[in-house]
Amino acid sequence: MQFPQPVFDANTSGGKDLGKLPEWDLSDLYPATDSPELARDMAWLEKECADFAASYEGKLATLDADGLLEAVQRYEQIDVIAGRIMSFAGLRYYQCTTDSDRAKFMSDCQDKMTTATTPLVFYGLEFNRLDDDHLADLLGANTDLARYKPVFDRMRAMKPHQLSDELEKFLHDQSTVGAAAWNRLFDETMAALEFNVDGEVLSLEATLNLLTEQDRATREAATHALTAVFRENIKIFARVHNTLAKEKEIEDRWRKMPTPQTGRHLANHVEAEVVEALRNAVVAAYPRLSHRYYALKAKWLGLDRMQVWDRNAPLPMESTKIVNWDEATATVMDAYAGFDPKMAEIAKPFFSEGWIDAAVKPGKAPGAFAHPTVTPVHPYVMLNYLGKPRDVMTLAHELGHGVHQVLAAEQGELLSSTPLTLAETASVFGEMLTFQKLLDGAKTKEERKILLAGKVEDMINTVVRQIAFYDFECKLHAARAEGELTPDDINALWMSVQAESLGPVFDFADGYETFWAYIPHFVHSPFYVYAYAFGDGLVNALYAVYAEGDPDFREKYFDMLRAGGSKHHKELLAPFGLDASDPKFWDKGLSMIEGFIDELEALED
């Protein structure tokens, strides 16, 4: 059973320049950790899992269509309650990962959940043993059951890779002391790190934020502070990566997965050749995109050579003005409403009902996420809002996820979950709407240049950087299969993708080789990162269709979001005349980034 991925949280009020920042109200999940509602649901879950096994284990093949539908719907309700409990525990924990009470509560919930759901392990295994023709007959006999076919297809894609019932139960039982435990060690270690920048002690998020400061000396000092702390802890992070990669290799070998990436492709319901076409298109475009852009940026910064702390530097003419929360909210909501008032209406409760947690605080996990929780409740968005223009784009991005999750919830728990490759669609589209709104309002050539440069940098970070990350992961898992990796081994793999992706204008300061250590996706979700590039390329192609004036675009777009995980990417994109399995599809998306760089070069004249 898959529990919703926990999201990371923040704090209630910002600095004096940011205004009052919103915080989560988790009472829509449960009022408190000792609430009767939570105790009731936990007791129900334990009983229902046992009853479910008693009703169906060894009997799935004997059920008629109505009987199988009842089994699926009972399983779906178990999924809802289990997801609700773990969402509550996870969200509380990520609000302050250094709080031992929160950590204990989440760990205890996870243990109880694992024990309670062990009787369900038979379900997927037995379902996959159903004869294909028999299942087809059942689906043909009941339209309500046939609705779940996409869920069944994804389950049965794992059929060649499933183990014996006994082994599957063993893996289920030991999961809390396997990857989940190493994930938690990583999160707690990262949240507790402190970085001394010119005498000021900062969290990871606040230190990374300094890399976007106007002052070059500040950016350099932040880089050295990051390097010093990563080096001190590099053995821990190397141990986490070695263990998780080896655990994955063992399980993949037992499951007869042909490559380390296969499990992710199956989960994403995307073909390996589509991902390979995306990867190859982006790598081939490095010289036309990142290499060309960073050469331009070096000129703007007055530098012959760029250092790693210059990569995300603002342009010299860029304003250092902080964007307060109210202004950020208005900017994003206006952009959403400009596309369609319905989109702004869906987004509104995020701001008014305690669905966003925005500020930075000690112990809080870094990053920004949108967590769907469960379909009867609503998503929660987490930000680390510091008032930079990029933070406004992050709000637009995460809010896009939230809107998508609200719409997809109409499908019900089992069909709402969107594969990662399509999960980035609404978020990147929301960013693009916000960017175009700001670009249309640019009053001067300089303002337009700053906006274009910011967007190109975001796209390079989303496409080029993430594909470089994907290549790093591919190399890491291949190398780990040959034996234990030292920190220096992992550092070398990291550096092998950096110069290729960023280009010849960069020098790499001593210590940058450790910067793989803080990226959570490598730990939590191996090979997740290509989904960002997939989403960006897909949205660029989608936005081109929108810009061309398709009169039915909005209706088709909302239908796509509502579909959740009920349709394959081919079926979802067909109404727009797009096909992600066509290698030329990715070139369309990349040409939009290239066009922005062309315009930036033209603005130099």
Query: What does the pLDDT read at residue 10?
Result: 32
Query: What does the pLDDT read at residue 13?
Result: 40
Tokens of 70: 């009842």
pLDDT of 196 > 50? The answer is yes
Query: What does the pLDDT read at residue 96?
Result: 87
Q: What is the share, in percent, of the chain residues with pLDDT greater than 90?
A: 74
Tokens of 429: 């589209």
Q: Which of 16, 19, 15 is nearest to 329 (CA)?
A: 19
Instruction: For residue 276, give the DSSP letter.
Output: H
Query: What does the pLDDT read at residue 420?
Result: 73
Query: What does the pLDDT read at residue 6?
Result: 36
Tokens of 336: 């959403």
Every domain of the chain with CATH number 1.10.1370.20 lies at 265-317+433-605
Contacts for 140 with CB less than 8 Å, ≥ 6 apart: 146
Separation of alpha carbons 478 and 480, rounded Å: 6
Give mean pLDDT, residues 153-167. Answer: 86
Mean pLDDT value across the chain? 91
Mind listing the pLDDT tens digit for each residue in 324-356?
999 999 999 999 999 999 999 999 999 999 999
For 265-317+433-605, which CATH class?
mainly alpha
Does the pTM exceed 0.75?
A: yes
Strands 380-382 and 356-357, how do they pair?
parallel
Q: CB of 195 within 8 A of CB of 223?
A: no
Mind listing the pLDDT tens digit for each residue in 442-473?
888 888 998 899 899 989 998 999 999 999 99
5-19, 412-426, 474-488, 570-584: segment of lowest average pLDDT = 5-19
Asked whether the CA dihedral 554, 559, 562, 564 is positive or negative, the reply is negative
Give mean pLDDT, residues 17-26. Answer: 92
Every domain of the chain with CATH number 1.20.140.70 lies at 1-193+233-256
pLDDT of 14 > 50? The answer is no
Separation of alpha carbons 227 and 531, rounded Å: 28
Query: What does the pLDDT read at residue 16?
Result: 54
Mind listing the pLDDT tens digit for each residue in 93-121?
988 888 999 999 999 999 999 999 999 98
Give mean pLDDT, residues 538-557. Answer: 91
Give mean pLDDT, residues 468-483. Answer: 97
Query: What does the pLDDT read at residue 318?
Result: 77
Mind listing the pLDDT tens digit for each residue in 46-72?
999 999 999 999 999 999 999 999 999
Query: What does the pLDDT read at residue 3?
Result: 39
Query: What does the pLDDT read at residue 1?
Result: 45
Q: Which residue has the tokens 């870094």?
A: 366
Asked whether the CA dihedral 421, 427, 433, 438 is positive or negative, the reply is negative
pLDDT of 421 > 90? The answer is no
Query: What does the pLDDT read at residue 414?
Result: 95
The CATH classification number of 1-193+233-256 equals 1.20.140.70
Q: CB of 371 within 8 A of CB of 357?
A: no
